[in-house]
Structure 1
Amino acid sequence: MKQADIIKNLTDKELLLNLYFTQFLMLGLALIGSRILTGNWLYPFTFIQWNVNHIIIGITAAVFVVVVELILAKFLPRKWFDDGGINERIFKGRHPLHIGFISLIVGISEEVMFRGLLQTTFGIIPASLIFALIHIRYLHNYFLFSFTILLSFFLGFLFYLTENLLTVIICHMLIDMLLGLCIKYRLFLYNGQK
């Protein structure tokens, strides 16, 4: 059974539970991987710094990415943004605080794994490519997959620039949260083409 068929057979509650399960699994694997690769369970967290300038960079970068995606949605065919309806099912019926919570969990777990552990251990290229590959639902859509690769390298560059995991966690969280709110409140203005 293809992934799209499996997802269609899940209820929205099961889809959300699957999201939480995979994110907590990823965080657990990051901690175990950290222990194996560095000898320190919490190695990725050593890259968190409370730096106001880095926080502003993360916020600004997130707004930039969201604006770019909204502009692209206005001018490119709608089918280029089709992820099989997963993001809509996850975010459409959620309370804004729940969207923020989901985004926080995803931002922390994915950035601890990909920037905090994989990028610091193996470099930006492997970390960014693996990040794109775990977003398996985008593999059938060349535009979304390409956009995810670019976004992954963008986040990797932010981490390289600031050496601050908090910068990319904030950026990733805000991208997901703002796009989730756009989905909830139907703020994507597609150009109408299928």
Structure 2
Amino acid sequence: MNRKKQADLIQQMSDRELTIQLILTQLIILSLAGIGSFFLFDSFREWIVLFQFSWSELLWFGLLPALIVLLIDFALLYSLPKRFYDDGGINIKVFRQRSYLSIIGLTLLIAFSEEMLFRGVVHTEFGYIIASVLFAVMHIRYLDKIVLLVSVLFVSFFIGYMYEQTGSLVVTITAHFLIDFVLAVWIRMGKWGSREQV
């Protein structure tokens, strides 16, 4: 399915249907993480180790990188023509009418499930490059939008590097959550689509 068809399908869905689809998708990703760890990890203890962190790591490798990514995103968003950041209105449909509490829950679920699979299982077992590329490929709707594709590749490799440095899922989940949450709130506030088309 191409990006236009996917965007059209999502625009036809009700908020409830869209929410159910998003949650189901994330639960599938989380299930894949569980199944992958069952076959690839020696014990549950390997998961426990991945959740260890220090507050300085959380600051330097979680919060600070999230702020850097957001600054780059906002700089590009407000300097490039709007069409470069147009994903077919999918993100606007997902977040524009959502409550702030729902945004917190959804972006936390997304960050948790995707980091569990891509950093916790794939990165841990198959390495930095494979995990980062697979994470970017998962965002298939961006393949024909070069700015969005480069952006998701950069974020994937950047967060993967934070995981390389810390070995902590708490750090990567925090960075992932903050990036998604701030951008979702920006959309919810009506700021994302507020610029004139260039």
Q: TM-score, normalised by structure 1?
A: 0.92
C-alpha separation between the residues in 2 aligned to 1:103 and 1:45?
23
Q: Percent identity?
A: 37
Of 32, 35, 38, the residue aligned with 1:32 is 35
| Matched residue type, 1:59 | L
Q: Tell me if 1:116 matches 2:127.
A: no
Paired residues in the alignment total 194
Judge conservation of contact 1:47–1:164 (CA < 8 Å) in 2.
yes
RMSD: 1.8
User: Superposed, which structure 2 residues align to 1:35-114 within 5 Å?
Assistant: 35-40=38-43, 43-57=46-60, 58-114=62-118
Q: Which residue identity lines up with residue 179 of structure 1 in the other structure? A: L
Deviation at 1:189, TM superposition (A): 7.8
| Post-superposition CA distance 1:88-109 (Å, at most 9, x none) | 1111111212111111101100
Q: Per-residue displacement from partner, 1:51-86 (whole Å, max 9, x unpaired)?
A: 111221211211221111111111001011111111
Distance 1:6 1:193 in 2: 23
Does residue 11 of the first structure (1) align with residue 49 of the second (2)? no
Aligned with 1:156 (options 132, 157, 160): 160
Output aligned runs, 1:146-185, within 5 Å.
146-185=150-189
For 1:9 and 1:41, locate their aligned partners in 2 and report how far apart those are by CA, in whole Å.
Answer: 42
Alignment-derived partner of residue 138 in structure 2: 134
Which blocks of at least 5 consecutive residues in structure 1 are unaligned?
none
Give the equivalent residue in structure 1 for 2:26. 23
Return closer, same or farther for 1:141/1:81 CA change in 2, 3 Å cut-off: same
User: Scaled by the length of structure 2, what TM-score is found?
Assistant: 0.91
The runs of 5 or more residues in structure 2 that have no matched partner are: none
Moved more, 10-19 or 42-51: 42-51
Work out the CA distance in 2 between the residues paired with 1:186 and 1:7: 19
